[in-house]
Amino acid sequence: MNERVSSPTPTEAPSTPRFYGLRTAPDDRPRFFQHLTEKWGDVVRWRFLFDVYVLNHPDDVKRVLSAPPERFTKGTTDYRILSLSLGRGLVTSDGPLWAHQRKLMQPMFHNRSINPFDEPINRLTSAMAARWAGLSATDTLFMEREMAQLTFEVVGTTLFGADIKQHAADIAEVLESINVSTQEVRSFLLLMLPWLPLPHTRRFNRALKKLDDIVFGLINARRASGERHDDILDRLLEARDEDSGEGMDEQQIRDEVVTLLLAGHETSSNALAWTFWLLSQHRDVEARLVAELNAVLDGRPAASSDLAQLPYLKQVVQESMRLLPPVWAVARLTHQDEVFQGYRVPAGAYLTIPIFAIHRHPEYWPDPERFDPERFSPHRTEPRHSYSYIPFSAGPRTCIGASMAMLEIQLVIANLLPKFRMEVAPGARIETAAKVTLTPKYGMPMRLTPRAAAQP
């Protein structure tokens, strides 16, 4: 660790050699960032194709994320790649457009707006459980795919109500093609040389066109019908600027819809798959959680109002997202010279906030690789640095869907875990791969045993 002294004259940050980590696969970036900070300290200038400043200390993370958003923007390559599909929706926009949209959309994600989503979440989860009940003990399913399908159905239903049904399969298919990894060279080529007729670029463009046709079709049909469904699309169509009274134009609604579809589904599905995997590896934690769920719910699905009575469920989810945060890093661009821990970072520099590594910072997380939901016990007395745990980021650009994600993840676990004991299929290798989100590299093959027949 470098000494964190504030020197009157800023010095150059500790630097890696040029092209350091060239042989590290993009999939392994979360551990690679952790390695950089262990070797060079909490501020590292990673000299790769261009320079990236890695900020690993919660104090610096706080300075960046709590600053007015125009001071550290999203003009980095990662977000420019994402904006090819998301357009100028909330995740990828900056400046006045972002501020305007965030203000318009914030009320759509307040607890009173999202708590009624417990009904569709439970309905869709119970349908999945009914399908699972038909499996035999030797059938293997891929948990990450099951969860991706479920969370896609959930976000699709909360956005489009029943209208999603006829398009669900098509949207799910094209989303996979447009959801390109920001870490791969071919995505970089897609951004820089979009006219090159590479197979990846052509597939991307075809999928994007198909998605736009469906989404614009859904928006226009809803407008034309004049019907109300009380889903997020209704709220996007009805949102009006306080002063001008103006609503969003078609393109902006499309960008927000596609942003919510992507931001709201893969993140939650990976959080769920990883939590089920961790529980299968820690039977003591699982037993305590099943006992809590049975005591409070006695076999029925949880409503949003039950969650306050299920503290251990929340602790398990929080600890799962500490160890395996679905969003494993966020990036920002500086616009003026900055100083972090006494080190100079120039204007125009790329910053990386390595969430995966910060969640293992030795000053804040003793024995960081251990899965221990007690870390989040409400009875803990020691204060914790609020920026040492940031699965949803923090500050003005914090995840707008955090409460919805927590609701969904907890309800799905509360519904499925008392019914099924999950076990990794024999011989399976479970490892992480850093795509846009942290996914299981070789999938997550699992076998299920109905709980009544399982050992406690």
Residues near ligand HEM (CB under 6 A) are 90-91, 102, 155, 259-260, 263-264, 267-268, 271, 326-327, 330, 391-393, 397, 399-401, 404-405
**Shortest spacing between CB 449 and ligand HEM, in angstroms:** 27
Residue among 114 and 289 whose Cβ is closer to ligand HEM:
114
Q: Please say which residue, 345 or 399, places its beta carbon nearer to ligand HEM.
A: 399
- Of the two residues 121 and 293, which places its CB atom closer to ligand HEM in the complex? 121
- Least distance to ligand HEM from the beta carbon of 198, Å? 27
Q: Which is nearer to ligand HEM, 102 or 314 (CB)?
A: 102
Nearer to ligand HEM, 16 or 259 (CB): 259
Torsion of CA 244, 246, 248, 250, to 10 degrees: -140
Task: Return the number of the residue (40 or 365) whose C-beta is nearest ligand HEM.
Answer: 365
* Nearest residue (CB) to ligand HEM, 74 versus 282: 74
How far apart CA 241 and CA 90 sit, in angstroms, is 16
| Structural contact between residues 405 and 399, judged by C-beta atoms closer than 8 angstroms | yes
For residue 264, give the nearest of 152, 410, 146 by alpha carbon.
152
Nearer to ligand HEM, 252 or 259 (CB): 259
Min CB(447)–ligand HEM separation in Å: 25
Q: How far is the CB of 77 from ligand HEM (least distance, A)?
A: 13
User: Within 13 Å, how many C-alpha atoms sit on residue 380's CB side?
Assistant: 11
The CA-atom distances, in angstroms, between 197 and each of 79, 190, 200, 210, 402 are 23, 10, 8, 18, 39
Measured from the CB of residue 18, what is the shortest distance to ligand HEM in angstroms?
A: 27
Least Cβ distance, residue 195 to ligand HEM (angstroms): 28
β-pair type (51-55, 350-353): parallel
Q: Is 88 exposed, middle or buried (0-12, 13-18, 19+ CB in 10 A)?
A: middle
Q: How far apart are the first and last CA of the chain?
A: 45
Question: Which of 110, 102, 69 is closest to 241 using CA atoms?
Answer: 102
Nearer to ligand HEM, 40 or 271 (CB): 271
CB of 330 to ligand HEM, least distance (A): 4
Q: What is the residue type of 72?
A: F
In the complex, what is the shortest distance from the CB of residue 57 to ligand HEM, in angstroms, rounded to a whole number?
18
Burial label, 169 (beta-carbon count in 10 A; 0-12, 13-18, 19+): exposed
Q: How far is the CB of 258 from ligand HEM (least distance, A)?
A: 11
Q: Are 438 and 326 in contact (CB under 8 A)?
A: yes
The least distance separating ligand HEM from the CB of residue 401, rounded to whole angstroms, comes to 2
CB-nearest residue to ligand HEM? 401
Looking at the Cβ atoms of 40 and 155, the one nearer to ligand HEM is 155
Q: Which is nearer to ligand HEM, 436 or 446 (CB)?
A: 436
Shortest reach from residue 400's CB to ligand HEM, in Å? 5
Check if the beta carbon of residue 322 is closer than 8 Å to that of residue 365: yes
